[in-house]
Structure 1
């Protein structure tokens, strides 16, 4: 399936029913369009099974509550909607996007308590998020923006508003010939990429930022568990930018990114080493098991 995302054949689940793709529309005065009152999940379906789908649905509901937005569906209903969408489109391998948002209603200011919370489930067939970087290592820019403090916005939510600086940073990175950008957080510590968590290797041990102001990704948690099962020590800690010079390997994790090696961040280079390749291969086997 190709072409603009609003002009395709297929079906999207929307507010309890499957609708033809081109008819899955919302009003221009939907609150989410003006005030970012929206949360979402990105998931992958492998061989007919969504990897950790229930965990994603649970997080969607938590994200809604963090934005003072009660999503009117249960985990079970969200799971059913996802599989109904996949079946309607005839997909067994696909990316799945669930989005919940405040629609148009009686309120059109900052307050939106009287507006309905709506939900849609779409999907598409998607290959490697970073293209051939998955084999040879992605090149990352260093973003000028910082991930915000939890005192300014609910950073534990997968909320649309948190991605504004991600879009800008990725555009800047792509203009420089990079695949993505690495953020530091509001304190100056290494944080994450625009849509993926980051891991580093030094002397056979793994280091990854403490997720106290970034999304603690489901793929991130999965990979940490896999590393510990392999007997590899994992340090979840604050990482200073100057430490990048001393790390030997690096990779990104995320539903879209899966496990993608990183070959360069700014002026720092990393080898696509044995541990990176092993965890990438192990993750691929796990999701398709």
Structure 2
């Protein structure tokens, strides 16, 4: 495997960063997770734009132009001969002192990893996930906007630990007011009476790129989509529930906190959107040329 680090493609065994890098010391940096389908990078421009937005939000100066980052991403995928897989694009603050001061970091570092991924076994896409509500809350936007894809994911990691310890693969996260924000790495949708609902980004949900794609596909298919403040009650009493995310794609949820959702099987609208999403990603995106 070849990994891109600061202008060079190096073997995986040679991919190293400084122990003084603030991304390692403080989680000071940003990232994007991007998918490769059928030799194309899905929504590359949207991911690069979101990376830029995250950088601006935390006063991180990107060391390359957006065009250069995009080309480096394509080159990394091509160097690994991938037609289907996952890209982790990381920008760290760079090496600096042991203190918090980010202005002592001379230059940010860009790291691009391209590999295969399987977040959930295929059986869960067919039969659905059972999930729980975790005690760990989504951080308040007053501390850091949920739209920033920060390297500090410890909050999400702790929520994932709760899920695994409870015998599930995913957990629902609430905000400080008790409204649904998102899951540990995925956006949440429910269907009731043919209408599709998803938590508003002002409730703490990431404005996910897969989220946006599904909302667009749903509207094009004739469904009404509403962004709302959502409680667990709306999920307990929904006809259908599903999650979306770059790594997860679109996956059904059939129970929350031991309450069966709908029929207890993936719903008709969920299955329709899964099929439409898979058809879209198979033929869309930036060509890699491998």
Q: TM-score, normalised by structure 1?
A: 0.93
Which residue of 2 is the match for residue 243 of structure 1? 234
1:163-215 per-residue CA deviation (whole Å, 9 max, x = no partner) reads: 21211111221122201100011111011110000000111111100011221
Distance 2:64 2:127 in 1: 42
Q: Which residue, 107, 113, 129 being the options, matches 2:120?
A: 129
Please tell me whether residue 169 in structure 1 is matched to residue 159 in structure 2: yes
4+ runs of 1 displaced by more than 6 Å? none
- The answer on whether the counterparts of 1:244 and 1:268 sit within 8 Å (CA) in structure 2 is no
Shift of 1:131: 4.2
Residue 145 of structure 1 aligns to a residue whose secondary structure is coil
Which residue of 2 is the match for residue 288 of structure 1? 282
Residue 109 of structure 2 aligns to a residue whose secondary structure is strand
Please tell me whether residue 206 in structure 1 is matched to residue 196 in structure 2: yes
Shift of 1:128: 4.8
1:103-122 alignment to 2 at 5 Å? 103-105=94-96, 107-115=97-105, 116-122=107-113
- The answer on whether the counterparts of 1:67 and 1:154 sit within 8 Å (CA) in structure 2 is no
Residue 188 of structure 1 aligns to a residue whose secondary structure is coil
Which residue of 2 is the match for residue 3 of structure 1? none
Name structure 1 gaps, 5 residues minimum.
1-9
Which residue of 2 is the match for residue 4 of structure 1? none
Name structure 2 gaps, 5 residues minimum.
284-290
Q: TM-score, normalised by structure 2?
A: 0.93
1:2-51 per-residue CA deviation (whole Å, 9 max, x = no partner) reads: xxxxxxxx100110110111111112221111211111000101111110
Quote the RMSD (CA, aligned, Å): 1.2
Q: How many residues get paired?
A: 278
Residue 44 of structure 1 aligns to a residue whose secondary structure is strand
